[in-house]
Structure 1
Amino acid sequence: MQARFASAVRSLFLWCMVLTLAACGGGGGSEGVPPGEPVGRVETFTIASARNGATYEISVYLPASYATGTRTYPVIYAVEGDARHGYFNASDTRFDAFARVMQRRGTQAILVGIGGVYRRNTDFLLPGAERYHAFIVQELVARIQSQYRVDPSRRALTGLSHGGYFVLAALALEATAGTIRFSHFLSTEASTGGGDAGVDTLEQRLAQAGRPVPTTLFLAGGSQGTTNGSLVLSLYGRLRAANYAGMTVEHMGFAASHVGTDVPAFEEALGRYFP
């Protein structure tokens, strides 16, 4: 009963966001949803992980077409889905902002927002990232695939800052294991990860994997104020030079702040990979 009530509340909230955009033209440079445009649905549930003992609130955005057809959909997994960075307004979470962009663009994909922002310094950085990654690919992905019509061959992972570092860590972990679970890794304003578990450690793991890495890595960096843009650009250059078999590496810089890069980078990724 509580789960259904929470789902209804989130759906109503998303509907209100869409109406607000349609009335005022949106925020942060985004346009509103045309009047009469069908609105997607948001569902929520919690999942307790056997991998690290944490419990996560999960939010799922389904495009309007999901309810009327039988097709399968790509899935985009967004870590730190409950982070409130003031995207379009102070109340928006990362999940809310991304769902709004997908709604406006008419993106035919499912968005999965993973809560747990309070665990970012544990889950996103090594060694905790190994257990968090296991939770996502072994528990959460299995739940999503059993509950929704998804295309397992089109699965993306997106993160910002420490979350962007986690996306890189996930790529390195999967390359080392020899099983790539995501077709697209979307890393925005990735942090160094800090200490001995920095970006160089992830590059070493990639180099030592010694096998093809059939996936696409999209690196995004900002340039206004204090950002990780130079780090991201340098990493891009090194990964391109390494020329890992099967891996496509792309980069784009944005005239935006550290957090301000997140939404435009996500929208750019949608246009490239999920038009």
Structure 2
Amino acid sequence: MVKGFQPSRRTALVTVAAALTACGGGSSGDADPPAAVGQVINSTLKSTSNGNTYPIQVYLPQTYATGTTLLPVIYATEGDAQFGGPNRSRFEVFKEVMQRQGTQAILVGIGGTAWRGSDFLMPGAAKYLDFIVKELAPTIERDYRADPKRRALSGLSHGGYFVVAALILEARAGVPPSFSYYLATEGSVGEHTSPAGVLAFEKQIDGKPLPTTLFLAGASGGNHPLIGIPLYNQMASQNLPGLVLLKAEYNTSHVGADLPAFEEALKRFLP
């Protein structure tokens, strides 16, 4: 059950959110990883949009080698962020979840966590979005059996803010959403100085068609009550034709919400 936002807790939550908005990766999961299944391909891609060269990891499920159908693609920002211990990354943990659940999809881990402070926030977010949509996605769809009509975008903290910003930027420009599913976990206030700034940023798209799904997830003790829930409530009250809006809250930490949110997203969208 989602807990209501309590105004009396606002000051305390602002303090907590300020400490959390710049968090990187991590996880408390200690489970042994599953046996390696499928294939991982490592490469790099230099962006003409912002000049950065990004490490790219692509996970292909075991059935990819013998299949013929197009598969959905999950684009995970901060794929190289440490997650759950030394030599384990957000990409690795997400890959293992997909293996356990038998998810028939391609996972693309976008490295470059060192640039999160500029890539995920405005004005750099616009160029980073161009990189993903106009450079990375076409490359993936050229080189693999990737379905351009079934794309998902995932981000945590500043990355969660970027996922929301990506949706807003395209809607504001009158461009159809580039992704079928947007998973924003524990979104930060981004470059804004308060949650009110995030709400004002989103308010610009009231009345715009949004034929996509936005999943706002987070931790009961993290940014979600302060940022995610007010954003959900505002968007639910607006005229946004075609938008499927979902929310989920977990009794965990800021970073700890990332894994259950991803697991739930897979079950809901790519069973």
Deviation string, structure 1 residues 69-104 (Cα, Å, up to 9, x no partner): 111100000011111132xx3321110000010011
Cross-structure match for 1:266:
262
1:192 maps to which of 179, 189, 192: 189
* 1:134-149 alignment runs, 5 A limit: 134-149=130-145
1:40 maps to which of 38, 41, 53: 38
Q: What secondary structure is seen at the aligned counterpart in 1 of 2:135? A: helix
Give the Cα–Cα distance (whole angstroms) in 2 for the partners of residues 192 and 146 of structure 1.
35
Query: What number of residue pairs does the alignment pair up?
Result: 240
1:62 maps to amino acid: L
Give the Cα–Cα distance (whole angstroms) in 2 for the partners of residues 180 and 259 of structure 1.
27
1:203–1:102: structure 2 CA closer, same or farther, 3 Å change rule?
same
* Percent identity of equivalent pairs: 52
Cross-structure match for 2:78:
80
Contact 2:176 2:211 in 1 (8 A): no
Deviates more, 1:152-161 or 1:241-250: 241-250
Give the Cα–Cα distance (whole angstroms) in 2 for the partners of residues 158 and 146 of structure 1.
21
* 1:1-275 alignment runs, 5 A limit: 28=29, 33=34, 39-86=37-84, 89-177=85-173, 178-195=175-192, 198-207=197-206, 210-224=207-221, 227-230=222-225, 231-275=227-271
Say which structure, 1 or 2, has more relative contact order (CA 8 Å, 6+ apart): 2
Q: What secondary structure is seen at the aligned counterpart in 2 of 1:95? A: helix
Contact 1:41 1:61 in 2 (8 A): yes
Q: What secondary structure is seen at the aligned counterpart in 2 of 1:50? A: coil
Structure 1 stretches of 4+ moved >2 Å: 27-33, 194-198
Shift of 1:30: 5.7
Q: What secondary structure is seen at the aligned counterpart in 2 of 1:167? A: helix
Shift of 1:120: 0.3
Q: What is the TM-score when the length of structure 1 is the normalising length?
A: 0.83
Shift of 1:29: 7.3
Contact 1:221 1:233 in 2 (8 A): no
Contact 1:215 1:247 in 2 (8 A): yes
Q: What secondary structure is seen at the aligned counterpart in 2 of 1:132? A: helix
Q: CA-atom RMSD, angstroms?
A: 1.8
Shift of 1:31: 7.8
Q: What is the TM-score when the length of structure 2 is the normalising length?
A: 0.84
1:199 maps to amino acid: V
Give the Cα–Cα distance (whole angstroms) in 2 for the partners of residues 185 and 63 of structure 1.
21
2:267 maps to amino acid: G
